[in-house]
Every structure is written in structure tokens, then in C-alpha cells.
Structure 1
């Protein structure tokens, strides 16, 4: 094959991959903010591409949702690994809880798909189990180090995450951050909280 032919072949492939990555980025932002019911034509319009191009890369809506979820799951996996690598058990656990809350704010529609009954969620069942197992490790480390109350279990932290997941986003982000702070106050041992958190703990009956 001539060099010119190689270059011509490579360019369409490169353009196709760029279009695919662009579509996933646009879809992730749209699904996260507005939910999964957004029409594919609207995704195409926002991406500046034709609907035929969208369907060439993602024949069905579920294919595009799965691709967007894959990026979210990869991001969550990296954040959890960072928490596992964090030497301070309290920072590791509280950081993981804060990361969960941030995804609740910024990846709303995708979170509902990932933890709900959407068909695309089935592909990530193993990832969800691994994340749950990693969270249990963080809780065990925090309890063994005295960073949290001695009676705290992974089930207690799951209750906290459920409270975050069910938070009504009609309220402001400030309210969600306040909820996270109060939940962490309930988990933390007295000597592991910041001065601000300690003051808030004392103010709660």
C-alpha cells in the first residue's frame, strides 16, 4: 500500500474516533443534566453531527448510554483507587463519600441509570460490587484506626450514601454539602473531625 493510501485510510479512522469521543462527551453531559429521555436527534444537534453519524456509532440509545456510563464508571473507579491509596483512613473514607456526593450533583441522570433498573446498568454489575467491596475496606480501615466510631459498619455508610442518592436536587448544592457534612459528623470519632466539624457536632443535640 502506498504512503498516500495509508494516510487517507488513517484520517477517516481518526475522524471517526474523534466523532465517537465527542458524541460520548456531549451525551454524558446531556444525560447527566437532563436525564436519559433526551432524544438522539437532540444529542446529534448538540454535537454538531448528523443523526446518521450518531446511529453509525451507536445504533441504539442503550449503546450510547452504556458508553457514557463506561466513562462515569472509569472515573469512579479511579477515585476509589485514590481513596484506597490514601494513607489517612479518615481522609480516604470521607473523600470517597464526598466524591459520591459530587457525582450525585453532576451526573444525575447517569447515576439513576447506574443504580436503577436501566438495561445499560447490567453491564456494570461487577464494577458496582467492586466499588462496594472497596468501600467496605475503607470503613474497616477507618474503624480499626479509630477514625470513626467503633460501632460504625459498612451498612451504616451505605445508609449515608442512600441518603445522598435520594437527596432532592431541587435544593442547592450547598444543602447537599451540608448533608454530607452532617453525615460525616455522625460517622467520625470526636478526635478525627476538623475544628469546624467538631463545633457543628457539639451543636447537634
Structure 2
């Protein structure tokens, strides 16, 4: 190897080993603004929201967003890693609870509340972001913990033995949808249905669990239907001949 080649190789090694250059102060401020805006937009609209909408909410140009995050997947990955840590911690607490039934109930209630508050998190948990390796590995960490919590409750004789892991996923979907349906009338009414469902899953109880709140009255229910169900279409009248 010539001296020139050795010098070139050494320079390349030094460049590769050099730490990443920190962002300029204005670039870092923009990054923080983009993440804060994305957190709010995704929480409200879920992952269907686009980068243009996030840029408007952050008060920056779309090009600025793309300079910090090359695509929406990169932004979602940066934003939701910490939220998934909270999900893992919630499920670990359930498994560590000396009372298997209390732990399972607390985890289910917390997980549903997280997804109602953050629609983006709901989309991440149920795989709406696509085949993203980092999130797939986190789900692979969460699912065995949930399964362990379910098995503990079954073995303790407090949970129906025919309950499957996917039943708890389905219950979460149901309750999140109830919360969206009744949001304008009573944003907490989903907890009533949580207790109804838990009573159906539990094999030991001295009396029905208090539901924690009233049902929607008929007017509120019909108003919710009007907001969420499509209006009936009317067929145009056939022309009358003379």
C-alpha cells in the first residue's frame, strides 16, 4: 500500500470514528417542535395524519420536517419508543401483582386509557405502522407478558379457563371504540362497559362489580349515533311524465 493510500485510509477511519455532529440550536429547536406537534396530532388523529399536517401544527415548513425525519415511519419510531416503554411497564406491573385478578384488571384499564388518550399509540400497538422491526420486537416482548398475566389468573381460578390472549386484545378494541362513540356525551362511559366485561370474565365474585357511572340516556345515545353513523341516502324521485 502506498503512503497516499495509507493516509487516505487513516482519514476515512478518523471520519467514521468521529461522533455525530450535534444539531445547531435552531435545528434542535425545530426537531423538538416537530416532535411535540406530532405527539399532539397523532394523539388526536392517529397515524393517518400526514407530515404536512404535522408541519402546519408545528409552524414549520414541510421541508424542515423531512430534513429531520426522512419519512413518517422515522418520526413515529422516534416518538413512540418511550410510549411503548410505558406499555411494557404497565404489563410487567400486572404480572408482578400478588393478586393475579387485580393485576390483570389494572393493566387492562390502563392500556385502554392510554389508547383512548393517544390514538397514535393504539395504531402502533395494533400494527398500523406496518412491518417496522423495532415495534415488532416490542410487541414480541409485550405479548408473552400479557399471556403470563392471563395464565396466572386462570391458574388462580379467578378467570374463565376458556379465555384466550386475543380476547383481551378484542376487549381493548371494543372499549376504545365505545369511548370514541360516546366521547361528546360522556368520555368516561367506557369504564362502565369495562366493568361489565370484567364481570363476565371473572369466575369468583360475591356480587356484581359497581359500574362506576350511569349509562348514556336515550337522547345522548341517539346524538352519538347521529355523529358516528352515516346518514341514510335518499333515492332521487323518478321524473314524472306528462
TM tier, shorter chain? 0.7 to 0.9
Deviation larger for 121-130 or 132-141: 121-130
1:89 and 2:100 aligned: yes
Q: 2:40 aligns with which of 29, 45, 49?
A: 29
Deviations 1:127-177 (A, max 9, x none): 112211111111111122233244444344344234335546122333322
CA contact (8 A) 1:23 1:47 kept: yes
* TM-score, normalisation: structure 1: 0.73
**Within 5 Å, which residues of 2 pair with 1:156-167?**
156-164=167-175, 166-167=177-178
- Tell me what 1:196 maps to: 210
- Tell me what 1:182 maps to: 196
Query: Gaps (5+ residues) in structure 1?
Result: 1-8, 198-205
Distance 2:44 2:125 in 1: 14
Distance 2:129 2:97 in 1: 33
How far residue 29 of structure 1 moved from its aligned partner, in angstroms, is 1.9
How far residue 28 of structure 1 moved from its aligned partner, in angstroms, is 2.0
* Number of equivalences: 188
1:126 and 2:137 aligned: yes
Distance 2:128 2:101 in 1: 33
How far residue 31 of structure 1 moved from its aligned partner, in angstroms, is 1.1
Residues 79 and 43 of structure 1: is their aligned pair in 2 closer, same or farther, counting only changes over 3 Å?
Answer: same
Query: Gaps (5+ residues) in structure 2?
Result: 1-20, 212-242
Distance 1:14 1:183 in 2: 51
Greater relative CO (CA pairs within 8 A, separation 6+): 1
Task: Describe the SS at the equivalent of 1:36.
Answer: helix
1:40 and 2:51 aligned: yes
Distance 1:151 1:119 in 2: 31
Distance 1:164 1:122 in 2: 28
**Within 5 Å, which residues of 2 pair with 1:39-118?**
39-118=50-129
* TM-score, normalisation: structure 2: 0.64
Question: Max radius of gyration: which structure?
Answer: 2
Which structure has the highest helix share of the two?
1
How far residue 192 of structure 1 moved from its aligned partner, in angstroms, is 7.5
How far residue 30 of structure 1 moved from its aligned partner, in angstroms, is 0.6
Residues 189 and 25 of structure 1: is their aligned pair in 2 closer, same or farther, counting only changes over 3 Å?
Answer: farther
Distance 2:88 2:36 in 1: 18
CA contact (8 A) 1:31 1:38 kept: yes
